[in-house]
Amino acid sequence: MKQYIVGLGEALWDMLPAGKQLGGAPANFAYHAGQFLGLENVLALSALGNDALALETEEAFAARRLPIYMPRVDFPTGTVRVTLDERGIPSYDICESVAWDHIPFDGRMQDVARRCRAVCYGTLAQRSPVSRSTIRRFLDLTPPDCLRIFDINLRQHFYDRPVIEESLRRARILKINDEELDIVGPLLDYSAAAPSDVCRRLIADYGLDMVVLTCGVHGSHVFTARESFFRPTPQVRVADTVGAGDSFTGAFCAALLGGRSVDEAHALAVEVSAYVCTQHGAMPPLPEEMKSRACRV
């Protein structure tokens, strides 16, 4: 029986200064995980509008050979205006009341959930009641051994404590960056704790397997209940950082599913995200040599 690796949530176009690029964290995650484990094994779940941009979205995913299930709904296909600072760091203006705010839960969603090997989700697509309900119902139907990754992905004002806590309770892995941790710590009343202590409290309080903490140029950490790992960030010539975090998550997930240790998965994720930073857009193809290293032979 086929099992799926799923990116669940927003599907959208990043309107970059150089032109629009297909994006959305869940689809980015699915694409990068699929580069390691086979694109036929992944699925991006969202919703599209009944408009020309929806057809362009489907064609763009097909060109990347990324399988999708994105029903059409009576709202426009999502767009985000992205601006980059002098370091290539993006900021986002995210349109509201768009298709991915209204992802329907249907029989296909239910079937995929029950056969889900790993799923990545965040807070952004939970800003609306319809998609929030769909995401929770999907997660609740996944098998106990499903690798549920909460890539928190805080954007603008589209999050609150209840959404974060409900998402943590359903997760096995939390991925968060240092700026997000500075927000989440006080929000969950961990304000006096050091970052490493916040990560360990999150593991203890929400029953997580691990927390992945990325700190930009200052490296990244993985915390479990008993161990911690650190990797420095490679120095590269940055084209832009759009999608780099999603590629990290996709590589990390693929390596864990491929039988790699946490430390090995962390090392690969760091290398992949650094490479993506040297490319334009969120979904560049990875070098063949890199793609061969997720699975233990």
pLDDT tens for each residue of 14-63: 777 777 888 789 999 999 999 999 999 999 999 999 999 999 999 999 99
Domains along the chain? 4-291 (3.40.1190.20)
User: Which residues face 90 on adjacent strands?
Assistant: 84
| DSSP 3-state percent helix, strand, coil across the chain (nearest 5) | 40, 25, 35
Distance CA 66, CA 72 (A): 18
Do the beta carbons of residue 77 and residue 87 sit within 8 Å? no
Residues 115-123 have a mean pLDDT of 98
* pLDDT, tens digit (0-9, with 9 covering 90-100), for 221-270: 999 999 999 999 999 998 878 789 999 999 999 999 999 999 999 999 99
Task: Mark out the alpha helices in the chain (DSSP H runs).
Answer: 25-37, 52-63, 107-114, 129-141, 161-170, 178-187, 195-206, 244-257, 262-277, 288-291
Distance CA 130, CA 163 (A): 13
Dihedral (C-alpha) 125, 127, 133, 137: value to the nearest 10 degrees?
40
Distance CA 107, CA 273 (A): 35
Of 291, 296, 275, 297, nearest to 37 by C-alpha is: 291
Instruction: Give every CB contact of residue 60 below 8 A, 6+ residues apart in sequence.
Output: 22
Of 232, 176, 220, nearest to 201 by C-alpha is: 176
pLDDT at residue 89 tops 80: no
pTM above 0.85, yes or no: yes
Q: What is the largest CA-CA distance in the chain?
A: 51
